[in-house]
Amino acid sequence: MNSIEANTRQTKTKGDLKTLRANGEIPAVVYGGKDQNQNISFSKKVLKILIDKENFLSNIINIKIDGKDYNVLPREVVFDTVSDEPIHVDFLRIVKGGKVNLEIPVKFINSENSPGLKRGGVLNIVRRKVELSCPTENIPSELIVDLDGVDIGQSFKISSIKLPENVVPTIRGRDFVVATLAAPTVIKEPEKPAETTEGTEGVEGEATTPEGAEADTKASASDSDKKDDTKKGDEKKTVADKK
């Protein structure tokens, strides 16, 4: 159980609260039971450490106020809308014989021993938290679902989860599902593009030149140029002879 050292606060105005927070303190209220509400304050650093822990709002905390111990349950944390820093906390006194409704997180264990998961099955979590009505002296920190030996097609209903004594779901009249182990989703591979005609290369729609044709074309062009030059030379010689 976590513990907090707190002090009674005498703040009366918004300015008093602003000064308190500027000094690294968080204002809070402890209520419930037959005792009057208590206005307290405690270290902001301590609160942030507790908030970072798992299941903060469902774990009982011991608060020492002016030398006296109280067991309380965090009920609400108010955050600043701009800085997202905690600025106020409400605590409920734990009174013996009382009951409280809480959302308790569900924890799944032994997933490595599930044949269904090994075969590619998918764990569909329907409820990550379940609201329970709990005696204040018997509040579970989490609900355990054991996946050892679980195969595809199996489901977990609230009746299959062992609850502490006198702890019951707030949803009555039906055995609701918490999780199921479903078959793997089959992903269809895209079809392969059609293969190009054998022996044809190059980009579609463009003519390709057979191997060696380019060299023959160049050779033919060269021979043609030579013949034209010879013809022109003969013509020049004939003109000169006539003169």
The yes-or-no verdict on residue 235 having pLDDT over 60 is no
Residue range(s) occupied by CATH 2.40.240.10 in the chain: 2-94
pLDDT tens track for 116-167: 999 999 999 999 999 999 998 888 889 999 999 999 999 999 999 999 999 9
| E strand intervals along 9-162 | 25-31, 38-43, 61-65, 68-79, 86-93, 99-109, 122-125, 129-135, 143-146, 155-157
The yes-or-no verdict on residue 228 having pLDDT over 70 is no
The SS3 assignment for 116 reads helix
Token pair for residue 114?
A: 């599930």
- CATH fold, domain 2-94, is Ribosomal Protein L25; Chain P (2.40.240)
pLDDT for residue 181? 96
- CATH fold, domain 100-182, is RNA Polymerase Alpha Subunit; Chain A, domain 2 (2.170.120)
State which H helix or E strand residue 45 sits in.
helix 44-52
For the chain, the C-alpha Rg in angstroms (whole number) is 41
pLDDT tens track for 67-117: 889 999 999 999 999 999 999 999 999 888 888 999 999 999 999 999 999
Q: Pairing between strand 25-31 and 68-79?
A: unpaired
Out of 118-132, 165-179, 185-199, pick the least confident.
185-199
Residue range(s) occupied by CATH 2.170.120.20 in the chain: 100-182
Give CA angle at 56 (11, 69), nearest 5°. Answer: 55
Q: 63 forms bridges with which residues in the sheet? A: 4, 70
pLDDT for residue 238? 45
Q: What is the pTM assigned to this prediction? A: 0.63
